[in-house]
Amino acid sequence: MQAGDTLAAVSAVTLTFLVIGGLGLLALAASLVFGEILPLGHLGHPDVSGPWSLEVIAGFAGAFGFAGAVANELLFGRTSVPAFAAAAVGAVAAFPTAYIVWRFSKAARNMRTDATPTRTDLIGTLGVVVTAIPAQGYGEVRVRLRGEPVKLNARADRPIPLGAHVFVVEAPSDTSVVVEETALPAT
């Protein structure tokens, strides 16, 4: 068999199953890439948690198509009888796959997350000066906010040198703070 004969050796039924599986993968990729941008995520109302999301349909189609293609080739399907058997095998694979995708996507959508930090969370944090703070201007400090390092613009009543430890006393915006030098080491 030569390379050009490979497509001819695949039956039309197997090719149909492969196309269905490929479209399922394409739909899944579209929902993952464009799901937040375009309204692709749900069929129906987006706040209703049901089994008719694009991810579930894509999982069903992918499993149905690829399992059907494998079954059709294993059954040497060139007629309609093995094609119906392959479709049954595809359906047997597709329903559990769709259920698992539905459960995982539901769990991901309903996952608890921490509240988004606000500027009031910055007040009282300790940090270190990474760009010296001049008398009438801004420098930069690095503080830890909920365990994560955050670099912010900083000003103070008096100049503070590079490497000095500071305490945040005010947060006029989400990206700037007012600090005072402290003897306490930053954590």
Q: How many CB atoms lie within 10 A of CB 131?
A: 14
Least confident of 39-48, 88-97, 133-142: 39-48
Domains and CATH numbers, the chain: 3-109 (no CATH), 119-181 (2.40.50.140)
Per residue in 118-166, pLDDT (tens digit) is 889 999 999 999 999 998 889 999 999 888 899 999 999 999 999 999 9
When the pLDDT of each residue in the chain is averaged and rounded to a whole number, the result is 83
Q: Is the pLDDT of residue 113 over 60?
A: yes
pLDDT greater at residue 140 or residue 108:
140
| Contact predicate 1/10, CB 8 Å | no
pLDDT at position 1? 47
Model pTM score: 0.56
DSSP of 47-94: TS--S-BHHHHHHHHHHHHHHHHHHHHHTT--SHHHHHHHHHHHHHHH
